[in-house]
Structure 1
């Protein structure tokens, strides 16, 4: 059985980072990617400014948020992924939170992602999966679904994390563990370490980072064995209170507006900067240029106590008649209402030569090279005025934040 004890895990952070933020800052390293992206920019003011910062001393920035750590190359929600993010200067780190069968909080992007993020299908716990592995056959893809709510915390601890992927052509459980995008890697997966939510708090604190946990929507009907949605939301907060984490260092997140409103009412110190992850983009007819399609007005959210809103990148921008990236009406409405804006997720799309995919859909016509990562980030920071940016490779955002003094 693989054990997970934070004193041992902290050794993975290295002696400097484990001592706290001041000495940890000495270890911050951008690596080669920011310079690589800057080289791809067209000549102009942005390239000149960023190029002039290439010799700067890296520093941690709260503008730079590790999205599940640094999952461009590391298995998400692992100790190693978050240590990598901290070493790239991410001032805020994320644990997506779900629960096990015994109602313990753990870091997973979804309650039902164990078949894509761990080795569960090749272990004895495969029998616990809600949907057992079914091999690909003819025109039918392989399928499986495995939930944390089907196993105990002790069982969860026996699993080995891997890069998030599922090989839809698999005919065996072992083959299903493949399918990693060719612009990611498995080089940093060996020996990666899962975390509970409580362990993430201790780790992030040791790294000198702040906290942005996301309460994930359950895959099971709530209440779950008497464990209500309110119990779930409260337990998340209680794990910060239990170890004395200041509320101002925590940005609670949820796609469920009722969770955010619960925190505002029940835990006002934490609720003051709770983040509403707006998924209006999933509604038929949603148009970030047309406020009539927004299910909630920005002013209505503000009047109900919400102070932070977090849509995906593409919702905040559009292209003007000249083909330049500019703020969307959605962004302007949020600004006018006094809402703080956070956005997600940079460096999640792979190479941008062909439009950038889902995260770049509103500016696809201008997305033709990796340089657009910095072009978009510049508009988000300077024109939209976002407070922070989630990234799968935080060094990209940290470099920009340091260069522009964010």
Structure 2
């Protein structure tokens, strides 16, 4: 895509206008309306999932048009072991229109059971990619992620988009295989960050082992002629990352360990020795949620957390997730902002956090559900 093809829309200006007065706001104001270039600092999380159905062709194109230099396909597999782009193996009931097809809905691991308004019992349903062949999967359309837990019909259940998102661009959510995403990303001129999703089914699945799954994902890049330098494979499973480092060292150089330990185990605490152990094992990139990287000091300022300091000291490159996934920030920002909720009270604070992540924490990239925000900041601060 040429520089003239990138468009940021009105949101960056909206966020800047909503910022507290100060030096950062003044600097960002001067960058509004200027031409932008794509930046690898700006990573399209599931595409542009704030307003487009996640992991659809339309969402990916929107992310690229906003200047995201890297775009993500979360990778899982179908009943016939074909790789497809979905955030979870078990989210088709909330991210697609599968419940609109009675013959397919009947095949779900947990077929739809209506809620009981009298008892307050919620609706039950779970539809997995592994419930369907690739041919069946391709019949579906993506929709905005959400479900109505008190629905008494499948139609009511599918009508669950959060109020701070929109269904405006959800009419044509084209689902994609992993291989199709690779071809599209090549056409769009962006780098790629596939995430190997944890299977919801027991592995091996019909003889398909975890290592074969991890290998198949990279094999599809090799088959498409994609250079390892263009790919940042990710996983929350450290064993997947170690597998790539050992068996596909060129791809392993940019393998990303998605770190969930701080919320999987309430007693877990970061340490320099642990970070060094990851580095010694060949891990170069680590990616925790936003809140793990920052804290608030005694002066009420957002500053790097111990986690961030230790990761940096160990020589690990850091990537943060996920900006623009929290809705309005007036009430503190919710889960992603939990370590700084006391100093988060307006939407413009997203840019304040982004500035700390870039300048003080030193992240090399930020996932965003609306990449225009990260692209705008990266261009203003001359981050390539």
State the TM-score, normalizing by the size of structure 2. Answer: 0.97
Shift of 1:102: 0.6
- Please point out which of 382, 389, 396 is paired with 2:366: 389
Q: Does residue 33 in structure 1 map to residue 11 in structure 2?
A: yes
Deviations 1:141-192 (A, max 9, x none): 1110000111100000001111111100100011100111101010101122
The answer on whether the counterparts of 2:75 and 2:84 sit within 8 Å (CA) in structure 1 is yes
Count of residues in Structure 1 that have an aligned counterpart in Structure 2: 380
Query: 3-state SS of the aligned residue for 2:179?
Result: helix
Does 1:103 pair with 2:84? Answer: no
Secondary structure in structure 2 of the residue aligned to 1:315: helix
Q: Is 2:323 aligned against 1:342?
A: no
Find the aligned partners of 1:55 and 1:359 in 2 and give their Cα distance: 29
Counterparts of 1:141-152 in structure 2, within 5 Å, are: 141-152=122-133
Q: Which of 107, 110, 121 matches 1:131?
A: 110
**In structure 2, how many angstroms separate the alpha carbons of the residues matched to 1:192 and 1:304?**
40
Distance 1:70 1:248 in 2: 23
Cα shift at 1:139: 1.5
Q: Secondary structure at the match of 1:291?
A: coil
Contact 2:38 2:67 in 1 (8 A): yes
Query: What CA deviation, in whole Å up to 9, does each residue of 1:106-127 have, x standing for no partner?
Result: 0000000010011111202011
| RMSD, matched Cα | 1.1
| Cα offset, 1:286, TM superposition | 4.2
Runs ≥4 in structure 1, deviation > 2 angstroms? 282-287
Would you say the 8 A contact 1:253–1:260 is kept in 2?
A: yes
Decide whether the 8 Å contact of 1:280 with 1:286 is kept in 2.
Answer: no
Match of 1:202 among 183, 208, 211: 183
**What SS class does the counterpart of residue 297 from structure 1 fall into?**
helix
CA distance in structure 2 between the partners assigned to 1:74 and 1:357 by the alignment:
22
TM-score by length of 1: 0.92
Q: CA deviation at 1:282?
A: 2.3
Which residue matches 1:5?
A: none
1:371, distance to aligned residue in structure 2 (A): 1.2
Question: Which residue is 1:227 aligned to?
Answer: 208
Instruction: Give the structure 1 partner of residue 155 of structure 2.
Output: 174
List gaps (5 residues or longer) in structure 1: 1-20
* CA offsets 1:28-57 (integer angstroms, 9 cap, x no match): 011110011111112211011101111321
Aligned-partner SS, 2:320:
strand
